[in-house]
Amino acid sequence: MSDANQKFKAWWLLSPTLLLYSLTFLLPVLLLVVMSFAKFENSVTEFGFYLGNYRKVFGDGITLLIFWRTVKLSVYITVACVVLGFPVAMVMRRAGPRGRLWLLFFIVSPLLTSIIVRNVAWVLILGRSGIINDTLREWGLIASPLPLMYNSFGVVLAVVHVYMSFMVLPIYGALQAINPSTEEAAASLGASPLRVFWFVTLPQSLPGLAAGCTLVFILSMGVYLTPVIMGGNFVVTLPMLITDVVRNQYNWPTASAMSLMLLVAIGAMVLVSSVVQKFGGRH
């Protein structure tokens, strides 16, 4: 009885958060659902129960394609963040307090600069007359400039740059929680450094890795401005499409259906990740 009472009290503490979330998240989502069944014809929105928006999203032959390309792009970004971020987290773990602070600063610094400044900087580095192309040309290594931006490569690079910290910090946290003696034990039992990593360090850092992947993947699914600038608009993501539908077609209903599609995909990813974190740690 008193246990149940305790639980009830704990729930009470959540009420401000719940209220905030119902106002800023649940209500808008509900609105989105209602809107997604409205009919948009001749520039006019009519509420009702109309499935045309979903028919369009799944049947127009392009929205789904863009959705899958967004997923693919997010997977690339996530994988790149893992490949580049894991070593950084490892170095951070080994580094002294000062080195760790510097690394942290470098990893987080993109978040402190505006997206415009960042992307202009990328143009100066990757552009046709950017630092890389100019240098390579001066050294006579290339005849014509390499296409380093206005394609998926540029988008992935620029997004990875920003979202790296969302990968590095959870992995670092998981690595910090690993008892270094387990790695030494593995070494003394005959494991080479690579095998120590594979059999001992990596499995123990899985919860952090899963959390990092979830964060980066979800953020990447919403990436919107960077493809416009770094991808020269050739790399189209679902959020870009949604914005276009709202801004240039004023079509809230179709945009709502698309948004729900994105929301469901992200929800599915969170679900998968929580399952991995639950069972991965126990492996």
Partner 1 sequence: MSDVEIQSAVKKYGRFTAVDSLDLTVSGGEFVTLLGPSGCGKTTTLRMVGGFVRPTSGRIRISDEDVTDKPPQKRKVGFVFQNYALFPHMDVARNVGFGLRMANRERSEREKRVAEILSMVRLGHLSDRMPSQLSGGQQQRVALARALIIQPSVLLLDEPFGALDKQLRDHMRVELRELQRSLGISTLFVTHDQDEALSMSDRIVVMSEGKAAQLGSPSEIYERPNSKFVAEFMGHSNIFDCLVEDVSKDGASISLNGVGFFTNSPSARKGSRMTAMIRPENIEFADSGEKRGDATVAATVAGMEYLGSTVQVTLSLEAGISLVARQTNTESATGSKLRTGQNVAVRIPPEAVRLL
Partner 2 sequence: MIKQLSISRRRALKTTAAAAGALATPYFFVKAHAASDPKVLRLYNFDGTLGDFYTEHWYNPFRDKFDMKLEFIRLKGSRVPLEKVQAQIGAGQPETDLFPLHPDQLIFAKRNNLAMEIPRSAIPEYDNVYDEFISDYGPCLVLWSYGLAYDTEAVSPAPTSWKALWDPAYAGRVALNEALKDQTLQMVNLAFKGQLYPVDDETFSHLSDIRPNLVALWSSGADAEQLFRNNEIVMTPFWNGRVTKLKSEGLPLEFVVPDEGFFVRCSVYGIPRNARNPEMALEWLNFVCGHDPQKRMVEFGYGTPNKLVEHTPEQAKAVIVADPEVVKKAVAEDFTHILDNNAAWTDMWNKWKAS
Q: Which residues sit at the interface with partner 1, rule CB under 8 A?
A: 179, 181-182, 184-193, 195, 199-200, 203-204, 281-283
CB closer to partner 2 out of 119 and 201: 119
Q: Is 163 exposed, middle or buried (0-12, 13-18, 19+ CB in 10 A)?
A: buried
117 binds, options partner 1, partner 2, none, Cβ within 5 to 8 A by partner type? none
The residues of the shown chain that bind partner 2, judged by CB under 8 A, are 24, 27-28, 31-32, 35, 42-44, 60-62, 65-66, 69, 115-116, 119-120, 123-124, 127-130, 144, 147, 150, 224-225, 228-229, 232-234, 236, 239, 241, 243-252, 254
Tally: H helices and E strands in the chain = 14, 2
Taking each helix axis from N to C end, the angle separating 152-176 and 63-94, rounded to the nearest 10 degrees, works out to 40
CA 141 to chain centre: 35
189 binds, options partner 2, partner 1, none, Cβ within 5 to 8 A by partner type? partner 1
CB closer to partner 2 out of 25 and 198: 25
Compute the least distance from the CB of residue 61 to partner 1, in Å: 46
Give the tokens for residue 161.
């740059």
65 binds, options partner 1, partner 2, none, Cβ within 5 to 8 A by partner type? partner 2
69 binds, options partner 1, partner 2, none, Cβ within 5 to 8 A by partner type? partner 2
Question: What is each CA distance from 124 to 120, 163, 199, in whole angstroms?
Answer: 6, 20, 42
233 binds, options partner 1, partner 2, none, Cβ within 5 to 8 A by partner type? partner 2
281 binds, options partner 1, partner 2, none, Cβ within 5 to 8 A by partner type? partner 1
Dihedral sign, Cα of residue 166, residue 172, residue 177, residue 182? positive
CB closer to partner 1 out of 86 and 252: 86
Compute the least distance from the CB of residue 181 to partner 2, in Å: 48
3-state helix/strand/coil string of 195-238: HHHHHHHHHHHHHHHHHHHHHHHHHHHCCCHHHHHHCCCCCCCH
CB closer to partner 1 out of 179 and 249: 179
Compute the least distance from the CB of residue 174 to partner 1, in Å: 12
CB closer to partner 2 out of 44 and 112: 44
Residue type, 111: L
CB closer to partner 2 out of 33 and 191: 33
Beta carbons within 10 angstroms of residue 160's beta carbon: 22
Give the ranges where 113-200 is alpha helix by DSSP (H).
Answer: 115-126, 131-138, 152-176, 180-188, 193-196
